[in-house]
Amino acid sequence: MKQILMRRIRVSKIIIFIFLLYLVYILFQNHTQNQLIKQLMVEQIEYQNDMSKQLLVVESGISRDEKRRHHILNVEKIISKIDSTIPYDTRFTYAEWIVDETENKDIDPYILSALITQESRFNPKAISIVGAKGLGQIMSLTSQDICEHLRINYEDDIENKSKIEKKKG
């Protein structure tokens, strides 16, 4: 009886040790991912600063379309660094959307790219533990309020990439 009890205690200790090793592995993996994200964000900001300096030097000679194309290509490169498995067409579509939306609202496209990187790593089907969805990890009620404020229809359908269509009239 005593031997069985001792054997169970040893087995329990081994299981606890394996569990602790697993926890250390998970913590190390999360730390590594966070370090990579931070490094990519720093690279994005440095890249943005370099590109902004270059644009300031030649800005007077560049048309608006050339600037837009330049930003789209750079944002696409950033997305490619974040997740190279995303198809080129999708990366390019995201980049166009980011540049168009930030241009209309006078926001730096690299800031929005960094936000999306941090929130979802450009995974449109990302859902957080608390229910935030999509590239920007926005809660459903918040996105419905935003759509109401902007007077656009909201359709909460993650399988159809959360379609948002403008109201007629």
Between the two ends of the chain, the Cα-to-Cα distance in Å is 82
Domain for residue 150, yes or no?
Answer: no
18-76 confidence digits (pLDDT tens): 766 666 666 666 666 667 677 777 777 777 667 666 666 555 566 778 888 888 999 99
Domain for residue 143, yes or no?
Answer: no
Domain for residue 47, yes or no?
Answer: yes
Q: Identify the pLDDT of residue 163.
A: 40
Angle among Cα 105, 120, 144 to the nearest 5 degrees reads: 55
Residue 21: give the domain boundaries.
2-138
Which pTM value belongs to this model? 0.56
User: Exposed/middle/buried for 104, CB within 10 Å: 0-12, 13-18, 19+?
Assistant: exposed
Residue 3 confidence (pLDDT) above 50 = yes
> Both tokens of residue 135?
């590239």
Domain for residue 149, yes or no?
Answer: no
Q: Into how many domains does the chain fold?
A: 1
Domain for residue 134, yes or no?
Answer: yes
Q: What residues does 153 pair with on adjacent strands? A: 165
Domain for residue 26, yes or no?
Answer: yes
